[in-house]
Amino acid sequence: MAESTSPFPYLEAVVGFMLVMYVFETYLDIRQHAALKLSSLPAPLKGVVSQEKFEKARAYSLEKSQFHFVHAAVSIVEEAAILLLGLLPWLWLKTEVFLGQLGLDSQNEILHTLMFLGATTLWSQVIELPFALYSTFVIEARHGFNKQTIWLFFRDMLMGLGLMVAVGPPIVAAIIIIVQKGGPYLALYLWAFMLVLSLVLMALYPVLIAPLFNKFTPLPEGELRGKIEQLASSLKFPLKKLFVIDGSTRSSHSNAYMYGFYNSKRIVLYDTLISQCKNEDEVVAVIAHELGHWKLSHTTYSFLAMQVLTLLQFGGYTFVRNSSDLFRSFGFTSKPVLIGLILFQHTIMPLQHLVSFCLNLVSRAFEFQADAFARKLGYAVPLRAGLIKLQEENLSAMNTDPWYSAYHYSHPPLVERLQALDMATKKSE
């Protein structure tokens, strides 16, 4: 008589991997914290960044690092406890009972899933709220970045929850129906749905959602607008609108981005970016870098890569969605669609970490390429000045541990970007 094989211990494997990654990432955090404590600028930045700005950036980075240690420790304890104590299956059963008490159909998987999601979202908001408040109104305020009031903070939070309530249910319902009726082509159907959804949200977000949180105004006529339009025209970038966003109502941090489809593109500048740069050429150099991403098809490559990864994930999900061992390992006696997706995401965490690391490598390569693109357009000097200025004004870390930055950073550290620019400039002379 053949011996029965024991089911794979999914729960123990997932929690074990989470703990291993926590230890590894904490080790990297300790290395980074040691780098942040260095009392002198890295050699390439000496004489470039003022000592006053360096000390401010050092103090800001160290405080954020200390805060991160606490946040990460609380998060790993919470995540491990939720899984080991069986809180997910417990909550699934409790929400089923609650639906019945409300006189609703507790066997309706869509209603049950929405109730479960509502409870988990409320829980995560409660847990994260103290950290968000401390980060915004203590750390960011202490270092001169926070500009929002407590009212604006809670308004943004409630509006975000309101959008989740408005947009989430139909998306969740659609996913459940697709899984229930998908058949052998389930992975393709799920991927196609998510593709269409992402395209719709990309089109609607800047038009309907972003204006709920920020005010977009056309960049006034003047030298800066003229230079940006001239640059866009020279690259055949289909610029339709050029906006300034009131980022200063919430933070002193600065940014710029592009969005839009095909022949209708828009560029958005944070008002803080304009005020922090010394002159128009520095702002234009930053835009030249962003246009480099477009001209070199970085956005397209990234989008296609995400589509391939999404399809592969859904393909993997189809192999385990009916696995009794997987659900039982986490304490579930039924096989709800959403729960299956959540458990599958837990089981592929090792692959997700590897993919994330690889994507960061590609992203850093793209950043160097975009810098080189701006340099070839003749913006080497203002881009260099702009990068330094933004690093100073945002109090970004000047000293970084190479292991930490290699693992975490999607953008190369300032020192590496300046060295690449200087080296390329010398070669071209």
Out of 109, 140, 367, 371, pick the active-site residue: 371
Which regions of 190-263 does DSSP assign to beta strands (E)? 216-218, 239-245, 256-261
267, containing H or E segment = strand 264-270
Burial code (b: 16+ CB inside 10 Å, e: under 16) for 237-272 equals bebeebbbbebbebbbbbebebbbeeeebbbbbbbb
404 and 29 in contact (C-beta within 8 Å)? yes
408 and 360 in contact (C-beta within 8 Å)? yes
Q: How many whole angstroms separate alpha carbon 57 and alpha carbon 398?
A: 7
Q: How many whole angstroms separate alpha carbon 116 and alpha carbon 170?
A: 15
Tokens 């970045």 locate to 145
Out of 290, 392, 393, 401, pick the active-site residue: 290
Length of the chain: 429
* Tally of CB atoms within 10 A around 346: 20
Is-catalytic flag, 371?
yes
266 and 244 in contact (C-beta within 8 Å)? no
Is-catalytic flag, 78?
no
Tokens, residue 237: 């970038």
Q: How many whole angstroms separate alpha carbon 398 and alpha carbon 40?
A: 9
Q: Around 289, how many Cα atoms within 13 Å sit in the side-chain half-sphere?
A: 24
Catalytic residues: 290, 371
